[in-house]
Amino acid sequence: MSNSSLGAAAVALGVAASITGLVVVAMSLTNRRGNWKREIQWLVGAMAFAAVAAVVVMERALITRDFTVAYVAENGSSTTPALFNFATLWAALEGSILLWTMILTGFVVAVVVKFRDQHDDPMVGWALFTLFVVTTFFFMLMMGPANPFGTFDPSPGFDGPGPNPLLQNHVLMAFHPPVLYLGYVGFTVPFAFAISALITGRVGEGWLVATRRWTVMAWGFLTLGIVLGAWWSYETLGWGGYWAWDPVENASFLPWLTGTAFIHSVMVQERRGMLRVWNLSLVVATFSLTILGTFITRSGILNSVHAFVESGIGPWILTFFGLIVVVSLGLIAWRGDQLRSPGRIDSPVSREGAFLANNVLFAAFAFVVLLGTIFPLFVEAVDGRTISVGNPYFDRMTMPIGFSLLFLMAVAPVLPWRKASPGVMSQRLIGPAWFAAAVVVFSVLVGARGWAPLLAFGLGGFAAGASARQLILATRRQGWRGLVGRTNGGMIVHIGVILIAVAFAASNAYVRQDEFNLVPGQTATMSGHELTYEGSTVIEYSNRTERVARIRIDGGQVYEPAVATYPFAGQSINIPSVRSTAVDDIALSVLSFPEGDDDAVLLRSTIQPLIVWLWIGGIVIAIGTAMAVTPGTRRRPTEPVSAPLETLA
């Protein structure tokens, strides 16, 4: 049996299992069936088996270079190195939907296992129904416009072009997309329980307690995926940067913004029974934006170095996005009376007041980014003009919001619930304020100038001091266990975010870039660094030919930026080389090798401070996320709230 037939059979099994699951759960919820636990376990198992089998078949086709599978013929090649050949599964549209579906079915299996003793609870039932709806949609995509197992009739000696050259020259290709998808897809679980809470009318804190760790883990994967994507861009594209407000970068950043707001906001509802509409709206927005991001990435409507080619999948995803928004908003409106909070904010200078301000700022941030991303679509739809929204818009609009969020990151953790007295505030903030002042003074002494970066450094120091204070107090009381749990793990996450924010501000404010025409033996000087060109070498690989320039930096190690030519793709790309230290990065990129006998090179050098702290910040966030989902010491609420559902707690 051919790989195309096996893969198509696996997809058909997935469609059948997901649709049958919908019917079985619906019949149970409408009291037309009794116990459905065993049936649903078998159906979810069949669905997961189908998704895994489809992935295995596609990998088999890629590894064996089975060009009778259209996806392999279009994206595979006998010359692609093994690692990138394996990662070709998610290098193009159909394969990425296949990976997405497999991860989604994995989350559904995890939900069924986690709540295996509560399948008769309508809350779990409606959550599973929602999950089956989403899973059915993605399986149906693979039956229709994103069919990964179409057939192809290769001529004798046929060889495919391989994946896009930019997708086969850095190891992060194997890790960034799967990690990002774990974040995207992970938000399906809290969304499903939010819809279930609205349908059942159980809109208290039970669904939040049930999905707390699912949400934090999804957020952690999404954050790590974004950081890995920035790192990949920095070391692959050769322009010297890592974030360009590209539409596809924004597509991943939007759900991160609303998801971050949601993670903070749920603490107010759990503690005081407030912000119910906010929380439901934020989780719906987060999931909706993952679907919108899928549309932006895979429809081909926007030009982006990250986006896939134009396809027929766009209308399907846009329709699904519209359905999610309409149904979710309708349910929230339907339950409007029940969503009224039993508590109220006693004072704006309180932790709940700070979290409400946090919600407003994140919502404003998301709106600014969304507007800048989709505005070109509206212009093109109205009058046919093609425009783009550049960095100046995003930088100008997001900078004040970012500063405000850094300030709240410092103040919110030390604020008490209900109301803060001036004495308490001064006592808790004096240490962080002194630390912030010391950071600014140190920054000026080492040469930092400009109000914006200095303000970022000061607010970063303020926020870091507040987080460190919380961790010190926690470890004094509880020892090492003071580092785990949602609150203290969250403080570690805050430190990681602060590292990224400070590195972002420094690298953008003090970036220096220049171009040099060099011949062998010639040295260029830039910002106190010496770059000596020692000549070039041609290296043949199975899938490409590289001409490598040897550049010695400051008389030490030799770095080798190159130009790679991929004959099957008929394309040449730059391969940068980066020297990283704790102080600054020197990124080298070959613009061209001018013709002639003197072996000259046109070299671009980009020097940016503190770049490495972006990646360290991402690692710190990952560690903090792991600690946040580790059970810590529970604290009882200061006042009664609507009790969490015992079956879900």
Q: Does 445 score more than 80 pLDDT? A: yes
- The residue that leads in pLDDT, 594 or 181, is 181
Q: Which residue from 546, 548, 543, 544 is spatially nearest to 533, judged by alpha carbons?
A: 548
Going by pLDDT thresholds of 50, 70 and 90, the confidence category of residue 322 is very high
* Whole-number Å distance between alpha carbons of 546 and 550: 12
Please check the confidence at residue 302 and state whether its pLDDT lies above 60. no
| Mean local confidence (pLDDT), 286-314 | 69
564 has a pLDDT exceeding 50 = yes
Beta strands in 301-424 (DSSP E): none
**pLDDT > 90: percent of the chain:** 53
Residue 579 confidence class, pLDDT cut points 50, 70, 90: very high
Region 288-301: what's the mean pLDDT? 78
Has residue 318 got a pLDDT over 90? no
What confidence tens digit (pLDDT) does each residue in 606-647 have? 999 999 999 999 999 999 999 888 876 554 443 333 333 333
Taking CA atoms, 406 is separated from 208, 542, 627, in Å, by 26, 49, 22
How far is Cα 122 from Cα 338, in angstroms, rounded to an integer?
18
pLDDT, position 224: 94
User: For residue 319, how many other CB atoms are within 10 A of its CB?
Assistant: 12
- Please state the length of the chain: 649
Note the pLDDT tens digit of each residue in 448-484. 889 999 999 999 999 999 999 888 888 888 776 767 7
Number of neighbours of residue 629 by Cβ within 10 angstroms: 18
Residues 31-51 pLDDT 10s: 755 567 788 889 999 999 999
How many other CB atoms sit within 10 Å of the CB of residue 101? 28
Q: Do 185 and 294 contact (CB within 8 A), yes or no?
A: no
222 vs 260: CA distance, rounded Å: 10
Q: What percentage of the chain carries pLDDT values higher than 70?
A: 92
Mean pLDDT for 159-173 is 86
Q: What is the mean pLDDT of residues 97-106?
A: 95
* Average confidence score pLDDT of the chain: 86
pLDDT-based confidence at residue 311 (cuts at 50, 70, 90): low
Residue environment code for 555-580, b if the CB has 16+ CB neighbours within 10 A, otherwise e: eeeebbbbbbebebbeeebbbbbbbe
User: Which residue reads 């809109």 in tokens?
Assistant: 203
Q: In this predicted structure, what is the pLDDT of residue 569?
A: 66
Gap between the terminal Cα atoms of the chain: 48
The per-residue pLDDT for 116 is 81
Q: Which amino acid is it at 93? A: L
Q: Is residue 183's pLDDT more than 90?
A: yes
